[in-house]
Amino acid sequence: MKVAFLASEVIPYAKTGGLADVAGALPKVLAGLGAEVRAFMPLYREVRKKKIPLTPVIERAELEMGGEKLAYAVFSHRADGVTVYFIDRPEYFDRDCLYGTAAGDYPDNGERFAFFSRASIETMRAMRYSPDIVHGHDWQSALVFAYLRYVYAGDAFFARTRTLFTIHNLAYQGLFDDELLDRIGLPASLFNMNELEFYGKVNALKAGILYATAVTTVSPRYSREIQTPAFGCGLDGLLRSRSAVLYGILNGVDYRDWNPATDHLIPRNYVPEDLTGKITCRKELAALFGLAAPTTLPVAGMVTRLAGQKGLDIVCEALQDLLGLGLTLVILGTGDQKIQDFLLEAQEKNPTRIGLKIAFDERIAHTIYAGSDIFLIPSRYEPCGLTQMYAMKYGTIPVVRATGGLDDSVQEFDPQVGNGNGFKFVEAEPEPLVEAAGRAGALFKKPIDWRKLVRNAMAADFSWERSASAYLDLYKKLAAS
Ligand code: ADP
Ligand code: GLC
């Protein structure tokens, strides 16, 4: 099974969120199951800065787009059975950020990621790598399906290739002016509502939903939610029309990177049978943020994009009541300026009760997973969510809104029976969040019950093997179709 895997971010090379974790881990597990996976991503400045030894694959090639010849090169790096190919065009990718700055998205994102998609296809041809499956992720890779359908349709090289599109987040669709199609070498006739047009704009994500042989999303519940108007972001009708080939496969965790027993980024390691290391991590976390953090009351962590999706506005509204419960809050995140300002002000007023760092920092993130007692995820929607799974492995109890992958991965703890691994609430409102955090706080005062809950959470197994087999089965089914 030969799989070409296109993603706009892949760990350890570049990351802004969960897509990178998935695109880094899944190919390796697939390779372990016998698939030959070659991954493609842009050569960003962030990758260059890491000084990873890259092997030149194509020194110079040209792609004609919009009447212009655009030069690029291709480099590769191989690790754990997977080769990653980097599309190098400095004009497009040698920039401070992946998608845009605090001031907004880069205005040429349409051209940038169309170029990435098309250059990836050309690289496959140049390497004589004829994939059984092209598996693209999110809008940044979705135009690959339009190219395969309309530009490479008669190309014998891809005659046997089947395609899979994975939606990690339906809300980010890649919307651009209609002139984009011409500039990126796609037929202008695709600008109609049955193809790529969406309320007067070109919608890159639609290319994935319409033209891929099958579509997946990252949890079973989200695959159902996106077919409803409430979660469909205007595309629920289109998704319903593809429901026969729309699947939900829950993401997994790479426990080589996320395991308190072996994690090099946390102050002290620990195992479920002996949590003394976790107590040290909690102390170090409190010291790092200058928090009082009394041991009788829980420390509540958050590691998150500060975006509407993640329900930060609900946290802001609930803040006084959460403090009223006696919680200590520790938040690490970047994003929305208004949310940052609100949290910074609250932190200044409550310096020993609220820890806040506006940054993207892997080490602090791991320390929060390890040093907190509970983990808040009040998302308005959540395609899968990885942070609840990471928190559980570190014995940190998730308090989540019952939506998408959060609902699929967290079960409310039942102290009577001793089942469950977290706390859930349904309405995206401050009060239910405070109530759920209150249930966690009350149980925290009962050490025997709490201990049982922590054990359950640490024993929950979200390793990739099961999900990777589901992808492999789907690849086989598509390849045979
Ligand atoms: P999303 O992809 O929607 O942001 P996920 O839960 O799938 O949400 O994944 C988020 C990933 O990004 C996790 O690996 C999390 O630890 C990481 N992350 C988010 N914000 C930060 C941050 N400020 N610093 C470090 N890691 C972060
Ligand atoms: C997206 C989603 C998140 C998911 C991640 C990886 O960023 O917001 O829920 O876990 O992709 O699939």
Residue 10's domain is classified under what CATH number?
A: 3.40.50.2000
Q: What is the pLDDT, as a whole number, of residue 326?
A: 97
Domain-located, residue 268? no
Nearest CA-CA partner of 333 in 306, 309, 311? 306
**427 shares a domain with 353:** yes
Q: Which residues contact 170 (CB under 8 A, 6 or more apart)?
A: 205, 217, 226, 231, 232, 233, 235, 383
- The CB of 383 under 6 Å from ligand 2? The reply is yes
Ligand with smallest separation from the Cα of 304: 1
**244 shares a domain with 217:** yes
- The CB of 251 under 6 Å from ligand 2? The reply is yes
Instruction: Please classify residue 244 by burial: count the beta carbons closer than 10 Å to its beta carbon, then call 0-12 exposed, 13-18 middle and 19+ buried.
Output: exposed
Q: What is the pLDDT, as a whole number, of residue 129?
A: 96
**436 shares a domain with 313:** yes
pTM, two decimals, is 0.97
**77 shares a domain with 59:** yes
**Ligand 2 midpoint to CA 207 (Å):** 20
Domain-located, residue 63? yes
Written as six digits, the tokens of 60 are 């110079």
Q: Which atom of ligand 1 is nearest to the CA of 382?
A: 3
Q: Which atom of ligand 1 is nearest to the CA of 387?
A: 6
**315 shares a domain with 199:** no
Domain-located, residue 260? no
Q: What is the pLDDT along the chain (481 residues), one digit of tens a residue?
A: 999 999 999 999 999 999 999 999 999 999 999 999 999 999 999 999 999 999 999 999 999 998 899 999 999 999 999 999 999 999 999 999 999 987 889 999 999 999 999 999 999 999 999 999 999 999 999 999 999 999 999 999 999 999 999 999 999 999 999 999 999 999 999 999 999 999 999 999 999 999 999 999 999 999 999 999 999 999 999 999 999 999 999 999 999 999 999 999 999 999 999 999 999 999 999 999 999 999 999 999 999 999 999 999 999 999 999 999 999 999 999 999 999 999 999 999 999 999 999 999 999 999 999 999 999 999 999 999 999 999 999 999 999 999 999 999 999 999 999 999 999 999 999 999 999 999 999 999 999 999 999 999 999 999 999 999 999 999 999 999 9
**322 shares a domain with 436:** yes
**471 shares a domain with 438:** no
Nearest CA-CA partner of 304 in 364, 227, 349, 254? 364
Q: Which residue has 């609900």 as its token pair?
A: 314
Where in 29-91 does DSSP place strands (E)? 36-42, 55-65, 68-79, 82-88
Ligand with smallest separation from the Cα of 218: 2
Domain-located, residue 271? no
Nearest CA-CA partner of 407 in 165, 225, 240, 231? 225
What is the span of the domain harbouring residue 225?
2-252+465-479
- Give the type of residue at 93: F
Domain count within the chain: 2
Q: What is the pLDDT, as a whole number, of residue 66?
A: 82
**307 shares a domain with 200:** no
Domain-located, residue 270? no
- The CB of 24 under 6 Å from ligand 2? The reply is no
**81 shares a domain with 149:** yes
**Under a CB-based contact definition with an 8 Å cutoff, are residues 409 and 385 in contact?**
yes
Q: Which atom of ligand 2 is nearest to the CA of 222?
A: 9
Domain-located, residue 205? yes
Ligand with smallest separation from the Cα of 358: 1
**472 shares a domain with 445:** no
Domain-located, residue 68? yes
Residues counted in the chain: 481
Domain-located, residue 30? yes
**411 shares a domain with 372:** yes
**335 shares a domain with 428:** yes
